[in-house]
Amino acid sequence: MERWALVSGLRGDLDLYEQIQSDLQKRRGTAHLFILGDMIGPHPKCDALLKRLCQPKRGDLHPHCIYGWLEEQLLSLYGYRGEAKADELQLQSDDSGVQQLRQAVDTEHLNWLASLQFGLIELDCGLIHGSSADVGDELQETTSPLILLDRLTRLDVNRLFTARSGRQFRLQLTGGQIRSRVKDHASEQLHEQPVPKRSVIGVGSGANYTLYDPASDHIEFLSVASRSGPSNRIKGFQR
Amino acid sequence: MTMSHAVISCLHANLAACEAVLADIDQQGIDTITCLGDLVGYGPQPNEVIELVRERSIPTCQGCWDEDIIDGLNACECSYPSQLAERRGHRAHHWAAERITEDNKVFLASLPMTLRRDRLLFVHGSPNSQHEYLLPDMSAFAALERVETAGAETLFCGHTHQPYVRELSEGSIRVSVQTNGNHNDSEQAMTLPMRRIINAGSVGEPRHGSTKATYVVHDDDSGAVSVVKWSTTSPKPVKPSLRRDYPRCSPGV
């Protein structure tokens, strides 16, 4: 079985995407590229990146994209999310940051962004930007194991790949249990539930990405040297 | 003297059942009552039930049916157990939406999603949503997460129409963490707190295997949960005058 590459947080940086594609070509045996959201950002090459994702160049590993927090915010700004109004972006950024995000993404890309899935299930793995609870959920290695187990349970997967925190980590649930006593009108039941052997994997963001081999369950955290200029370092968009 | 309070839920416009349960609570000398919502839906007397709750100033959370009547059908995203149940639900919705007064709709819209008293949390479905079912057999870890993340020790809920008391205890989780740049996995362990979920069942439309209304009595002082109590009074049948244009979607009709 061939490996998966898991990327997130390109934030409109086409050069960075090309570096990752180039890096993947050097590493043989990688067959699938998953981009876990935050493709867009206030970057001058954002439109070019979106075009490249929709129409890969010959030799590119074909990207499977899902939407992330930034796409959710942008789509809210354009009324694609009902009454939601990108309040989180307004809080974290400011009006100028919101404007820059609008300007970076041509409206011709909106329908494509709106068509993207919240997450993907591949084999027994969930691939998602935030978590099964929310696209903005920031899971990391210091998050309460109880919450991590809940996010795994909601998707009923053995491995949850997440990107929102930007962290690269693998947290494995290795043991433990809980006692549940349920009393209803008919009976009283006592049940010991063991902690399932499951994992949450942070794939990183931007130049940091992750390779995963489903056959061996091996994880490799990688990084390409970023050539990004200061253009995407705008308040509210750093991670 | 102990300080007990009663929790009722899912009244569903069944005035006869509400009156019977409140009389039963009054008879026990309990004057603190909390309602977990779903005042309307299914039953034939939505306005009367809302007005009873308002008259008695019973603190009440908004249920999924209460939201549904305000925000339109399917605002409640709860799944129905069958197509028949779904058709019944839709008929009941349209019937109730036409009859509930504007003043009562304003009242339903004003209800809070949650009520909190110290470490006791009162919700209709779960702390996340009025629509989430906390069933007695859901993952114990996920159930604990709902209570713990909400900062509660005891969570009172309804929505399932099946009363139960669930105690989650003696929990622990061990983890192994690997991070980028650190080749040695670190091992950690977390001890989980003991928490309770108490489902009050339903006053107006019980689904626990009999037509008897259910509610819960909880002792505030000791923190102990008493057994879920069933009203000894079965709901009275609805008056013939109320049956005229009423869709057959409620017990007792």
pLDDT digits (tens, 9 = 90+) for B142-166: 999 999 999 999 999 999 988 999 9
Whichever domain contains A188, its CATH number is 3.60.21.10
Q: Do B174 and A147 touch (CB under 8 A)?
A: no
Min Cα–Cα distance to chain A from B129, Å = 12
A33 within a domain of the structure (yes/no): yes
B121 within a domain of the structure (yes/no): yes
pLDDT score, position A234:
44
pLDDT score, position A229:
47
B207 within a domain of the structure (yes/no): yes
Per-residue tokens: A55: 């129409």
Q: Do A176 and B171 touch (CB under 8 A)?
A: yes
B133 within a domain of the structure (yes/no): yes
B214 within a domain of the structure (yes/no): yes
User: Per-residue DSSP letters for chain A?
Assistant: --EEEEE---TT-HHHHHHHHHHHHHSTTEEEEEEES----S-TTHHHHHHHHHSPPTTPPPEEEE--HHHHHHHHHTTTTTT---HHHHHHS-HHHHHHHHHHS-GGGHHHHHHSBSEEEETTEEEESS-SS-TT----TTS-HHHHHHHHHHHT-SEEEE-TT--EEEEEEEEEEEEEEEEESS-EEEEEEEPP--EEEEE--TTEEEEEETTTTEEEEEE------GGG--TT---
Q: Output the pTM of the full model.
A: 0.84
Mean pLDDT of each 10-residue bin along chain A, 239 residues long: 92 96 89 95 95 95 96 90 75 78 92 94 95 93 95 94 96 96 90 96 96 94 70 49
Per the structure, the count of domains in chain A is 1
- Contact list in A for residue B141 (CB cut-off 8 A) is 146, 149-150, 153, 178, 193, 195
pLDDT score, position A232:
44
* Region class of A176: left (phi > 0), else alpha (psi between -120 and 50), else beta: left
Residue B171 structural domain: 4-242
Give the chain A residue nearest B144 (alpha carbons).
A146
Give the chain A residue nearest B143 (alpha carbons).
A150
B249 within a domain of the structure (yes/no): no
A54 within a domain of the structure (yes/no): yes
A97 within a domain of the structure (yes/no): yes
Q: Which of residues 131 through 190 in chain B touch A, CB cutoff 8 A?
A: 136-137, 139-145, 148-149, 162-181, 187-190
B209 within a domain of the structure (yes/no): yes
Per the structure, the count of domains in chain B is 1
Give the chain B residue nearest A195 (alpha carbons).
B173
A85 within a domain of the structure (yes/no): yes
A239 within a domain of the structure (yes/no): no
Min Cα–Cα distance to chain A from B240, Å = 32
- Contact list in B for residue A200 (CB cut-off 8 A) is none
B252 within a domain of the structure (yes/no): no
Q: Do A182 and B136 touch (CB under 8 A)?
A: yes
Whichever domain contains B101, its CATH number is 3.60.21.10
Residue A16 structural domain: 3-232
B250 within a domain of the structure (yes/no): no
Q: Walk along chain B (253 residues) and give the pLDDT tens digit of each residue.
A: 558 899 999 999 999 889 989 998 999 899 899 999 999 988 889 999 999 999 999 999 999 888 888 776 555 556 666 777 777 777 777 778 888 899 999 999 999 999 999 899 999 999 998 889 999 999 999 999 999 999 999 999 999 988 999 999 999 999 999 987 776 788 999 999 999 999 999 998 878 777 788 899 998 888 766 655 665 555 555 555 555 555 555 444 3
pLDDT tens across B92-121, in order? 777 788 888 999 999 999 999 999 998 999
